[in-house]
């Protein structure tokens, strides 16, 4: 039990590092007050440009991967008990996502967890990630709505997990919970899509606001 608690706490703190907020703050901008107000890669891309957006995307994904691959094994090394590494990895992945979405450093207000979830999925279910990544790319290119691509990919995730893990009920349930959380975090985007006010990513008009 101690290993699970230590894993959850360490992974949560790792996931809670507010990368987008810190990158923007280094440039004298509080990213929570501009654009969509989100601290994730999409809003960073809109406000600070491609380089900053890609950096935040990769850094947030790395948090999820490190939580699953490094944190869980490190805890089991220093606190050896009967805990199964697979269960610890799942606990670490979910905790890292919760840390990103509800970071303690910003009064439990964080991002939507898409990039961090991708990092977790690379470690846990890489083939399922490839499927939903393909869906994300296709829908993003067709609509230029990051939210549409992300929501659709999240909805597909548990089905992709089921198909690529020989019908592993446990992993399907876990990725289903991740998908539900991701869709819930996009509830404002869904409302803006319904109202027709959701912003798109523009490729040609440099500096365009959405």
Q: How many CB atoms lie within 10 A of CB 50?
A: 10
Q: For residue range 82-119, list pLDDT tens digits in order.
A: 668 899 999 999 999 999 999 999 999 999 999 999 99
Q: What is the pLDDT of residues 184-208, one digit of tens each?
A: 999 999 999 999 999 888 766 444 3
User: Do 9 and 102 reside in the same domain of the chain?
Assistant: yes
Answer yes or no: do 166 and 74 share one domain.
no
Give the residue from 124, 158, 185 where a domain finishes. 124
The verdict on 80 and 32 lying in the same domain is yes
Are residue 4 and residue 93 in the same domain, yes or no? yes
Residue with tokens 């290119």: 141
Whether residues 157 and 206 share a domain: the answer is yes
pLDDT in tens, the chain (210 residues): 888 999 999 999 999 999 999 999 999 999 999 998 999 999 999 999 999 999 999 999 999 999 999 999 999 888 877 668 899 999 999 999 999 999 999 999 999 999 999 999 999 999 999 999 999 999 999 999 999 999 999 999 999 999 999 999 999 999 999 999 999 999 999 999 999 999 888 766 444 333
The owner of tokens 């690529």 is: 164
State the total domains in the chain: 2
Residues 6 and 89 occupy one common structural domain: yes
Mean pLDDT of the chain: 93
Q: Which residues form the domain of 89?
A: 1-106+113-124
Same domain, 19 and 118: yes
The conformational region for residue 57 under phi > 0 = left, psi -120 to 50 = alpha, else beta, is alpha
Q: Model's pTM, two decimal places?
A: 0.90
């Amino acid at each position: 039990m101690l290993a699970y608690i230590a894993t959850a706490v360490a992974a949560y703190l790792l996931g809670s590092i507010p990368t987008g907020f810190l990158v923007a703050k280094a440039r004298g901008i509080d990213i929570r007050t501009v654009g969509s107000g989100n601290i994730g890669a999409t809003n960073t891309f809109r406000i600070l440009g491609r380089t900053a957006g890609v950096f935040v995307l990769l850094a947030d994904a790395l948090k999820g991967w490190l939580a699953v691959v490094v944190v869980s094994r490190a805890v089991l090394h220093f606190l050896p008990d009967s805990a199964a590494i697979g269960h610890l990895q799942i606990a670490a992945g979910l905790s890292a996502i919760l840390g990103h979405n509800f970071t303690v450093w910003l009064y439990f207000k964080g991002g939507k967890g898409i990039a961090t979830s991708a990092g977790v999925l690379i470690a846990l279910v890489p083939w399922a990630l490839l499927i939903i990544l393909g869906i994300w790319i296709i829908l993003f290119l067709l609509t230029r709505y990051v939210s549409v691509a992300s929501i659709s990919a999240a909805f597909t995730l548990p089905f992709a997990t089921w198909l690529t893990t020989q019908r592993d009920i446990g992993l399907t349930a876990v990725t289903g919970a991740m998908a539900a959380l991701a869709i819930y975090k996009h509830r404002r985007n869904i409302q803006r899509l319904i109202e027709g006010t959701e912003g798109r990513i523009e490729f040609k008009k440099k500096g365009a606001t959405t």
